[in-house]
């Protein structure tokens, strides 16, 4: 029996050793290996051998803190015979002690959430980079400045903010930039998806008839306290102001034709939403957002001071999450005109004790 046990142990050891050797001598697309402080993943074998900088695990970037890159890192142009052509998803995610990354001119792509929660303060984009993911700098809370070399044909920077080459699109405002105010340059016609994602800025000024499009989650989680959407803006993306916990007032111009869930139930300071009287699709009354005819109640500001509210008799439908997390409401009266409502209309209204309604089929609150 002892001899059999020893044999089994030897076989297991050989299997583990073989697996280790294969890991070290990564040869297939998708295989990973480590060189120096960085992990790499093979992305291409023909016609050229290429890798991207990656993280230790993949789905969750690092399960061993001792394996995280720290200090100043210089990414090489080549490693073990492979060209380093990309920085992959979450490559430096939660690398809190990583302070600087120098990107070589072999890199053409920067992926999603690369610098999320890292300690990197400044980044310089070389001329070789042709693709930067819309979420590359999400939650890069230490990042104060993005630089771009002047001969990059696709991107540019101004005052530490990332733009496309022509500066018609604002791509990323650094999450760690400490300026409290920012004015969008006149050249900009689009504020990109996630552009101000969880940034520290309090006030962003958009001049009339410049910006046309504000992307999805453009200001999500930022420290905005108020914002005026001027004439000229014709599109506001989903969750544009979601999780803006300091946002108190929003004004919407006449040119905005549609708004699909631009707020969230965590806009806890929101007190007033106003809409230009000549907007053809939306209106406001007492700081509350409605459709034009006030048949649909869309959003009741969470931070509104009122303890009681009577829904206007013109309203026939209450939008989903319309009153969700309202902080001070204790009583609400729903008129007979209301025929139906969306889901979770009063979800999280902890002080709401009285709902006066004759609607028998009102959905769950």
Q: Is residue 137 part of a domain?
A: yes
Judged by DSSP in three states, 223 sits in: coil
Q: Is residue 71 part of a domain?
A: yes
In this prediction, residue 357 carries a pLDDT of: 85
In this prediction, residue 297 carries a pLDDT of: 97
Q: Is residue 37 part of a domain?
A: yes
Distances (CA, A) of 200 to 94, 122, 180, 303: 19, 16, 7, 21
Q: Is residue 68 part of a domain?
A: yes
Gap between the Cα atoms of 206 and 69, Å rounded? 39
Mean pLDDT by runs of 10 across the 365 residues of the chain is 46 41 67 94 96 83 79 96 96 92 98 92 97 92 96 98 98 96 98 97 97 98 98 97 97 95 94 98 98 97 96 96 94 93 92 83 53
In this prediction, residue 188 carries a pLDDT of: 98
In this prediction, residue 24 carries a pLDDT of: 52
Closest alpha carbon to 87 in 54, 118, 57 = 54
In this prediction, residue 202 carries a pLDDT of: 97
In this prediction, residue 186 carries a pLDDT of: 97
Query: Beta strand pairing status for 131-132 and 155-158?
Result: unpaired
Q: Is residue 101 part of a domain?
A: yes
Gap between the Cα atoms of 106 and 128, Å rounded? 6
Distances (CA, A) of 49 to 22, 103, 115, 267: 18, 19, 25, 48
In this prediction, residue 364 carries a pLDDT of: 47
Asked whether the bond before 306 is cis by omega within 30 degrees of 0, the reply is: no
Torsional class of 160: left (φ above 0), alpha (ψ -120 to 50), beta (otherwise) = left
Residue labelled with tokens 């902080």: 327
Q: Is residue 204 part of a domain?
A: no
Query: Beta strand pairing status for 32-35 and 38-44?
Result: antiparallel
In this prediction, residue 362 carries a pLDDT of: 57
Task: Write out the residue range of the structural domain in which residue 131 sits.
Answer: 26-164
In this prediction, residue 12 carries a pLDDT of: 42
In this prediction, residue 359 carries a pLDDT of: 66
Q: Is residue 131 part of a domain?
A: yes
CA 151, 156, 157, 158 dihedral sign is positive
319-339: string of b/e by CB count within 10 Å (b at 16+)? Answer: bebbbbbbebbeebebbeebe
In this prediction, residue 177 carries a pLDDT of: 96
In this prediction, residue 59 carries a pLDDT of: 58
CA angle at residue 46 from 56 to 39, to 5 degrees? 15
Structural domains in the chain (count):
1
Q: Report the CATH number at residue 137.
A: 3.80.10
Q: Are the beta carbons of 104 and 126 closer than 8 angstroms?
A: yes
Q: Is residue 105 part of a domain?
A: yes
Closest alpha carbon to 118 in 90, 145, 146 = 90
């Amino acid at each position: 029996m002892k001899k059999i046990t020893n044999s089994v142990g030897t076989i297991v050891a050989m299997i583990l050793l073989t697996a280790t050797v294969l890991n070290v001598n990564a040869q297939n697309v998708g295989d990973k290996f480590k060189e120096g402080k960085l992990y790499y993943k093979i992305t291409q074998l023909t016609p050229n051998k290429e890798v991207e900088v990656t993280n230790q695990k993949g789905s969750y970037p690092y399960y061993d803190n001792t394996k995280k890159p720290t200090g100043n890192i210089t990414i090489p142009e080549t490693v073990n015979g492979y060209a380093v052509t990309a920085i992959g998803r979450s490559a430096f995610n939660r690398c809190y002690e990583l302070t600087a990354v120098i990107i070589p001119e072999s890199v053409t792509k920067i992926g999603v959430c690369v610098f999320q929660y890292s300690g990197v303060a400044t980044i310089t984009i070389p001329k070789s980079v042709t693709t930067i993911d819309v979420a590359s700098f999400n939650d890069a809370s230490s990042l104060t400045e993005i630089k771009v070399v002047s001969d990059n044909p696709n991107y540019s920077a101004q005052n530490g903010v990332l733009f496309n080459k022509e500066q018609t699109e604002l791509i990323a405002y650094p999450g760690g930039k400490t300026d409290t105010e920012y004015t969008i340059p006149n050249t900009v016609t689009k504020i990109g998806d996630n552009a101000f994602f969880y940034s520290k800025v309090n006030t962003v000024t958009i001049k009339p008839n410049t910006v046309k499009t504000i992307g999805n989650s453009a200001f999500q989680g930022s420290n905005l306290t108020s914002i005026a959407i001027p004439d000229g803006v014709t599109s506001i993306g989903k969750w544009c102001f979601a999780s803006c916990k300091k946002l108190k007032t929003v004004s919407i111009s006449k040119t905005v034709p549609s708004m699909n869930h631009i707020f969230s139930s965590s806009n806890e300071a929101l007190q007033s939403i106003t809409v230009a009287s000549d907007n053809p699709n939306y209106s406001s009354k007492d700081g509350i957002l409605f459709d034009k005819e006030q048949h649909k109640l869309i959003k009741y500001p969470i931070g509104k001071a009122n303890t009681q509210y009577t829904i206007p008799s013109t309203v026939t439908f209450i939008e989903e999450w319309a009153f969700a997390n309202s902080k001070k409401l204790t009583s609400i009266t729903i008129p007979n005109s209301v025929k139906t409502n969306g889901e979770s209309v009063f979800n999280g209204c902890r002080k709401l004790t009285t709902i006066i309604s004759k609607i028998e089929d009102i959905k769950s609150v």
